[in-house]
Amino acid sequence: MMWINQPNATFERIEPNPPDAFTPAQSAAGQSIHLPGIVAVVGCDGSGKTRLVKDLVAALRQERPAERRYMGLISGETGDKIKRLPFIGVALEHYLAAKVRRAQDMKKKIPGPFTATIMYLFSLWRVRQLRRLRRRAQSGVLIIAERYPQAEIAGFHYDGPGIAVERSNNRLVRKLAQREQKIYDRMAEHRPALIIRLAIDADTAYSRKSDHPIAELRDKTENMPRIKYNGSRIFEIDATLPYDAVLATALSAVGRVARAI
């Protein structure tokens, strides 16, 4: 499935290996910096992001330099790196993950300045990751990023700002939230050459990721299609299709982008 990310757009289902179906989205912000050497894969948990990114990189490396980069935060590979720290790694990862997990419910108040500061530091870390991403792409390497920061919907679940000014009456927390929003606004100015969004329904996602709360998956599947990524070119694939079809469609889309670099 491909969704054209424009106001009042008509959504249509397309089959694997469609004809040229790229349509730039309307820009949600006044500024943008095009990143021709970066393709991002986004989607709800259970949509198959990790597997697809790894397989895309393996296929692309047969023709050109390509790398996979993970752009998430405390979960996934970032958490694994923290665990590998000597002596305190495992305990620190569990502690930070618990703090962030409680704070990720955007309907609740941020617990306090300490947790807000941790979240702010994670956002600064994401800025560093994006800078490294740009440098690698500028060196001629095609980067396939798993996840990508955006500034439109708050919440680390969506790779957006995690604090949100309306979540606290604490002066320091609100100040951090305002600064964090500006950080994400600046990151969102950097638009990848293409964003592949894997579309999936909550029930299918839950059948693949039963360790995730179904309410969380429903929330993600409802909100992910709303994100415009500051007008980036978005190519949406129905992730409930057989995996070989998903991979073939994604390779075709990335191939067209790669030829233009």
Which pLDDT value is given to residue 106? 54
Which pLDDT value is given to residue 22? 39
Residue ranges in the chain assigned as alpha helix (H): 49-60, 77-83, 89-103, 113-138, 171-188, 202-208, 214-223, 243-259
**Is 173 in contact with 110 (CB distance < 8 Å)?**
yes
Do the bridges between strand 190-199 and strand 33-43 make them parallel or antiparallel, or are there none, so unpaired? parallel
Q: Residue 198: what are its φ and ψ, rounded to 5°?
A: -90, 115
CATH class label, 33-259: alpha beta
Q: Residue 234: what are its φ and ψ, rounded to 5°?
A: -115, 125
Length of the chain: 261
Tokens found for residue 194: 């293409």
Do the bridges between strand 190-199 and strand 66-70 make them parallel or antiparallel, or are there none, so unpaired? unpaired
Q: How far apart are CA 39 and CA 54, in angstroms?
A: 13
Per-residue pLDDT of the chain (261 residues; tens, 9 = 90+): 454 444 333 333 333 333 343 333 333 445 789 999 999 999 999 999 999 999 999 999 999 999 999 998 755 555 555 555 565 556 665 666 665 555 556 566 666 888 889 889 989 999 999 999 999 999 999 999 999 999 999 988 899 998 887 778 889 999 999 999 999 999 999 999 999 999 999 999 999 999 889 999 999 999 999 999 999 999 999 999 999 999 999 999 999 998 877
Q: How far apart are CA 198 and CA 200, in angstroms?
A: 7
DSSP 139-184: TTPEEEEES---SSS-SGGGTS-SS-GGG---HHHHHHHHHHHHHH
pTM for the model: 0.81
**Is 66 in contact with 139 (CB distance < 8 Å)?**
no
Which pLDDT value is given to residue 74? 56
Domain extents in the chain: 33-259
